[in-house]
Structures are given as C-alpha cells and as structure tokens.
C-alpha cells in the first residue's frame, strides 16, 4: 500500500543516512568477486550507476521514479514495459529515458549488451519476480527485487543461485532497514533500552476491501491481488512481510515457531487462496512473542515492542505511515517514541536511500548487501509456515 502525501513540502535535498544496525541475517557464502560492469572504473570516480525499472505500475510511478533524481550514486537510465508506445514514451518525456533504453519483455534479455545499465529493480507482480530476477542476473546485472521476494521458498533459492552463478548482488527491497526511524528502533532495542524485549505487536493492514466494494475505486486499484497464482496468497503475501520483518529485526533473531489464522468474511470478493485477513503469532527462542496481523479489511498500522524497561513505538505523522512508502517525491512521515518520549529522526525518501546504498555496495565490490536474497528466503519460509498453520487450523508449526 502506497500512501500519498500531497500536502507535504518536497525536501530540497535527500540526505543519505549512513551507518545503522548491520544486517541481522547472516548471508550464506557469497562470491569472492562481484560482476564488474564495463565502464565501472569511470563510475567509481563519481559517476552514477545506471538503473532500469522492470514493470511500470503504480509503485514505479509514485515511489521509485520520482526519487531517483535525488540519488547521489544512482540514476534511472532505462525501463522495461509491456507498453512501450504509451508508458515507455511517458518515461522518455518525464525522465529523459533514451528511446533505445525502453525495453519490452520480449527483448529484455538484450540488456546484457547495454553498458548504461548496471542493475535493475524488479517491480512486477509476485509470480514474475523470480523469472526476471534470474534473467537479469544471467545478463550480468545486479538485482533489487520487490517483496515478497517470490511466491515460494523454492523460487527464492533459484534466484540466489542465479545471482551467485553470475557474481552479482541480489537484494530485496526491505527499505525500512534504511529508514531512520526503523533503523533507530533496531539500534535502541539492540542497546537494551527497553531491557530484553518480551513481546511486540506489529500490523500492516489497508482498506483494499473498501476499494473493491466501491465501483469507482475498484477501477483504480490492483486487480491482480485477487489472483492467488500471481500473488502466492492474500494479505499475508501483500503486506504481511512488514510485520514479519518488524518482529525479526526488533528481536534481532529468527523465530523458531509460528501459528496462523486466516479469515475471509467476504468470500464473494476474495477467492480461495486469497485470504482477507491473516493473524499470526511468531515465537522466538528466548521467549519473545510477536502478535502480528495483515488484513484488507481496514487501514491500520502498528509497531510496538515491549520489555521490562519500557515500550518502543513508531507512529504515523500527518498523512504518513508506520510502514508506508514515500510517494510523489515526499516522505511518509513517522515518529519514534521511547517510553512516551519522542526521538527526532530525519524524514527521508526511502527509495532514494535504498538505491544509493545499493549503488555504493556495487561500487565497493561488496560481497553481500544489508537486505540480501537470503533474508527474503527466510521470510518466504516463515510465510509458508504461517499459511500451513492456518490451513491446519492454527497448529504450531516449528521452523
């Protein structure tokens, strides 16, 4: 779900947030040497790396493309679309994309010969992530893929294998690992500011149901979310990854067991395999319990982590959102509160900080990234276990 922030003034400059907590997921063995694109040496000396967006849907239009001009280390140089004569031309006019840098899905693999493109951002429906991430890796391009990483753990494993085979970086767009309020929350919890965390409550729900019921809204909303083949599931495979991520990065470890409960009151709207709501519990080895929820019934976001030393919360500000994406070139405003005391943090353009970090990692010849494919694989395994539990009546499923 992408929030609009029409009344928020556009910042003059988006500063890259340095530092932050290291990745809490240990990536598996990575290649010793990353793929080195032609022209790499020159780009090391201050030039920006070129990025191609694969899929020009609303997410690309509202959140990725409008932020790229603020990046210090990356720039939008190409697009891949099924509508080159309409969407492709619109991007040429608005973002200065060259005519020969507008690719289609039929000629996509020819990007291997395009020296302008160093990496791609896959923003297609869930069931297409693996196919195009693998094709991009085989073309020698580094890859950022949307979340969830794929529709199955098996697909994630294939994507990771392709990236390693071709010596390219594979990252999942877990942008909140680069967002100052969430980064600060991770650091505060790791530093014991609430003591040893005991439990948390995390939710990312949005009013998709309302959009589907209203005929006018329905015309403007994503219909593919109702297709279980394209999505892999319902609300869990849409926004459920946010509470999963929040629980894991707040605790600093992975769960050992989960249980899920699916609910669909509007069976006339949501087909089998696309649950309207997924409530789930995540249990960790030291006793930490996360109560989580993802639903299409109504818009509600929550981040609360508790311990013997207090409570850490992230709240929306104005038209912003706890987990929401910056949009239209404006931040999604948030506030961080520790024991009822606000902690000021910068409001940033989340895609810009993500792309700058990824480009810097490529330039540095990094062997892995802060949000690697292995993290996406972990989350898919958790999602599959939650779905299994829900199908079996809410039994506890060990991981």
Encode the chain (399 residues) as per-residue pLDDT tens digits: 333 333 322 323 232 222 222 332 333 333 333 444 444 444 555 799 999 999 999 999 999 999 999 999 999 999 999 999 999 999 999 999 999 999 999 999 999 999 999 999 999 999 999 999 999 999 999 999 999 999 999 999 999 999 999 999 999 999 999 999 999 999 999 999 999 999 999 999 999 999 999 999 998 889 999 999 999 999 999 999 999 999 999 999 999 999 999 999 999 999 999 999 999 999 999 999 999 999 999 999 999 999 999 999 999 999 899 999 999 999 999 999 999 999 999 999 999 999 999 999 999 999 999 999 999 999 999 999 999 999 999 999 999
Picking from 60, 50, 52, the residue whose alpha carbon sits closest to that of residue 123 is 60
> For the stretch 370-380, what's the b/e string if a residue is b when 16 or more beta carbons lie within 10 angstroms of its beta carbon?
bbbbbbbbbbb
163 alpha carbon, distance to own chain's centre: 18
Can 40-176+353-371 and 179-347+380-398 be said to share one CATH topology?
no
Asked if 225 contacts 206 with a C-beta cutoff of 8 angstroms, the reply is no
Domain boundaries, the chain: 40-176+353-371, 179-347+380-398
CA atoms within 13 A on the CB side of 275: 24
Euclidean distance between CA atoms 275 and 263, whole angstroms: 6
Q: What's the pLDDT score for residue 202?
A: 98
What's the token pair of residue 294?
């993802």
Phi, then psi, of 396 in degrees rounded to 5: -75, 130
- Tell me which architecture the domain covering 179-347+380-398 has in CATH: 2-Layer Sandwich (3.30)
Q: Residue 280's beta-bridge partner residues?
A: 260, 292
Q: Residue 227's beta-bridge partner residues?
A: none
- Which residues lie closer than 8 Å to 15 by C-beta, 6 or more apart? 346, 348
Q: What's the pLDDT score for residue 46?
A: 72
Count the helix, strand and coil residues of the chain and give each as a percent rounded to the nearest 5. 35, 20, 40
Give this prediction's pTM. 0.89
Q: DSSP string of 123-184?
A: -S-GGGHHHHHHHHHHTT-EEEE-SSS-SSHHHHHHHHHHHHHTT--EEE--GGGGSHHHHH
Superfamily grouping for domain 40-176+353-371: NAD(P)-binding Rossmann-like Domain (3.40.50.720)
Alpha helix locations (H) across 191-255?
A: 208-213, 215-219, 228-231, 241-251
Picking from 110, 109, 114, 108, the residue whose alpha carbon sits closest to that of residue 81 is 108
Asked if 351 contacts 330 with a C-beta cutoff of 8 angstroms, the reply is no
């Amino acid at each position: 779900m992408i929030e609009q922030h029409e009344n928020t003034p556009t910042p003059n400059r988006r500063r890259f947030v340095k530092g932050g907590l290291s990745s809490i997921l240990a990536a598996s063995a990575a290649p010793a040497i990353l793929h080195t694109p032609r022209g790499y040496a020159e780009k090391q000396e201050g030039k920006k790396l070129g990025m191609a967006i694969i899929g020009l849907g609303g997410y690309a239009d509202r959140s990725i493309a409008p932020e790229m001009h603020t990046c210090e280390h990356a720039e939008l140089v190409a697009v891949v679309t099924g509508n080159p004569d309409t969407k492709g031309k619109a991007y040429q006019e608005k973002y200065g994309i060259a005519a020969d840098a507008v690719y289609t899905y039929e000629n996509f693999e020819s990007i291997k010969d395009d020296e302008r493109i160093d990496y791609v951002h896959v923003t297609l429906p869930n069931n297409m992530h693996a196919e195009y991430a693998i094709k991009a890796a085989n073309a020698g391009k580094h890859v950022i893929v949307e979340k969830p990483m794929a529709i199955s753990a098996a697909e994630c494993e294939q994507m990771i294998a392709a990236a390693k085979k071709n010596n390219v970086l594979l990252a999942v767009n877990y942008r909140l690992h680069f967002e100052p309020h969430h980064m600060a929350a991770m650091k505060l919890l790791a530093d014991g500011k609430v003591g040893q965390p005991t439990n948390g409550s995390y939710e990312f729900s949005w009013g998709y149901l309302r959009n589907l019921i209203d005929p006018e809204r329905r015309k403007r909303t994503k219909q593919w979310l109702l297709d279980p083949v394209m999505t892999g599931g319902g609300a869990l495979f849409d926004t459920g990854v946010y509470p999963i991520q929040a629980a894991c990065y707040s605790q600093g470890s992975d769960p050992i067991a989960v249980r899920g409960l699916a609910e669909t009151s509007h069976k006339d709207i949501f087909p089998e395999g696309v649950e309207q709501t997924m409530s789930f519990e995540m249990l960790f080895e030291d006793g930490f319990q996360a109560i989580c929820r993802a639903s299409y019934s109504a818009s509600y976001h929550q981040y609360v982590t508790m311990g013997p030393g207090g409570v850490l919360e992230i709240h929306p500000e104005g038209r912003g959102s706890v987990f929401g994406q910056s949009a239209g070139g404006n931040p999604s405003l948030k506030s961080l509160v520790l024991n009822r005391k606000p902690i000021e943090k910068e409001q940033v353009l989340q895609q810009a900080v993500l792309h700058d970090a990824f480009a810097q990692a490529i330039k540095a010849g990094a062997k892995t990234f802060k949000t690697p494919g292995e993290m996406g694989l972990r989350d898919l395994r958790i999602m599959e276990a939650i779905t299994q539990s829900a199908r079996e009546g809410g039994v506890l499923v060990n991981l």
